[in-house]
A and B are shown apart, each in its own frame.
Chain A
């Protein structure tokens, strides 16, 4: 029996090794004083310094983070409302239709979404830049949030709502004190997924950036032609650390939520 228990653990370890090795490899060389990724000469922080000296890169980094935060926030708000609407639509075929439309958006290729946004924005005269990138990121994040929130709603027993109504809760109370606390983990999951989606999207973003506004993914892609410099390694290292911090933050929040869930009364 002991042997059988070890096997999944070893398997898991190997999977994680494969997943994380490239990232650590990249970070390892970000401390390399030699110019390339072929041999490690000696330890240096100059590439990190280069990141902070490059004003353009910093602006782009901040752009990327702001777009990710705002688009995740807004799409979570819209996505939760959308999930509620889908859940409480009485007409079965209507509900199915809306849900399928939502899923089609998730599987449709980014390039097509990006190109159609470009055409739309130029047609209705929205200038490419911050707003256009934000709108398109919100758009492709909403379906993801819906998908993350919906299972939580389905999991919720309808008798919870009935009980609340019987005890005299208004519609608003039902929403804010019963439903939302119950689906909170789904909301957070949706938010963080939207955040990462926005951070690493290239295909859509490429089409809708313009007028001096750019994001990291677009920038790194265009750098690739001349060979990726170690500055990018350093930047990737920084982003990795930020991401880890975000994930830890997410767990801290969701653990707290769980304990709150036990005492819904307050």
Chain B
């Protein structure tokens, strides 16, 4: 009995010490405070030095938290209990959050830096007039491939994936919108198609891809490509950039028929307690030098036109990540199609997956 009591006391003692160390490290923390802002962002999606710079410049203290999925993020914001001042949802999620009345309109008098954003990325259908959101990073969906493992195969067109020589080589992403979208794209239909005949046609076409499909997986694809265990993958430009960073052989292309243009955006959720600080943060992140440094660190494409002046010429001239006008005109942003339509997409995707066996 004595030992148990002694053990318990030791544990309490250790916890006490650790807690006080944490308090020291965390000094001034605690939210709800007028001088702190809580940022809720994807993991590894900001240069930590910039947070410190922001604290020094504006005097606001940043509490930084991370999430790993749009859906999880919205769940926590919807439920409340914590006061997030800034969040970074993807475009389709903004439409859903708008519908649920989870966002606060932006006050542009407090965001003068908005003038630096490329107009091409503003006023898009998911948030027309940018009433609630401003773009943070953007990218495309395309094909990552490793030419050293292929015999001169190129991918100007989605149809190249259907080439019989690519037996058992193509990895698809386990996501209905992207995969069905590839089918739609290859038939020159809209990515937001709600026409069931078009969707049927796209699925039928995908079914013909069956012999070439090696796997349908998620984030694990990065490692497979890097290790040279896979040669072709349907993927997002950001993920492709990660692959290329670790394996120089890998290349990325957006096929000419067009593809998806995706966004992560800064928004102020309803739960915000420091709206002043939230605007200051958005304005800070849109500063050209800050945006350039952040894009450098994260490796995704920035929508900030003036920031390009501060970046490596090699990076911004890379058309794989900063595509030219011509390619951009073929890109399409996802709309929120509603639960029923999404159900159709999921059903067709499931059918395609089951058919594979």
Contact = CB atoms under 8 A, between A and B. Distances in A.
B93 to A, nearest CB: 14
Contacts, number: 127
Interface stretch (B1-9, B106-114, B148-156): B1-9
Contacts of A62: 18-19, 21-22, 25
A260 B8 CA distance: 18
B38 to A, nearest CB: 7
Interface in B271-310: 298
A222 B42 contact: yes
Contact of B226 (A38, A65, A70, A214): A38
Interface string A60-100: 00110110011011000100000000000000000000000
Contacts of A115: 75
A36 B226 CA distance: 9
A66 B81 contact: no
> Chain A: interface secondary structure?
helix
- Interface residues on chain B, size class: 35 or more
Interface residues of A, number: 55
Nearest to B51: A56
B1 A35 contact: no
Interface stretch (A144-152, A162-170, A224-232): A224-232
A73 B29 CA distance: 27
B66 interface: yes
A227 B222 contact: yes
A59 B1 contact: no
A119 B14 CA distance: 32
Interface string A219-253: 10111111101000000000000000000000001
A180 B4 contact: yes
Interface of A: 35-38, 54-56, 58-59, 62-63, 65-66, 69-70, 72-73, 77, 115, 118-119, 121-122, 126-129, 132, 176-177, 180-181, 184, 187, 206-207, 209-212, 214, 218-219, 221-227, 229, 253, 256-257, 260
Interface of B: 1, 3-4, 7-8, 11-12, 14-15, 18-19, 21-22, 25-26, 29-31, 38, 42-45, 48, 63-68, 72, 75-76, 79-83, 219, 222-223, 226-227, 238, 242, 245-247, 298
Given A66-B18, A222-B43, 15 more contacts: A38-B246, A54-B48, A69-B14, A70-B15, A72-B11, A118-B79, A184-B3, A211-B83, A212-B31, A219-B43, A221-B68, A222-B66, A223-B66, A224-B68, A229-B44
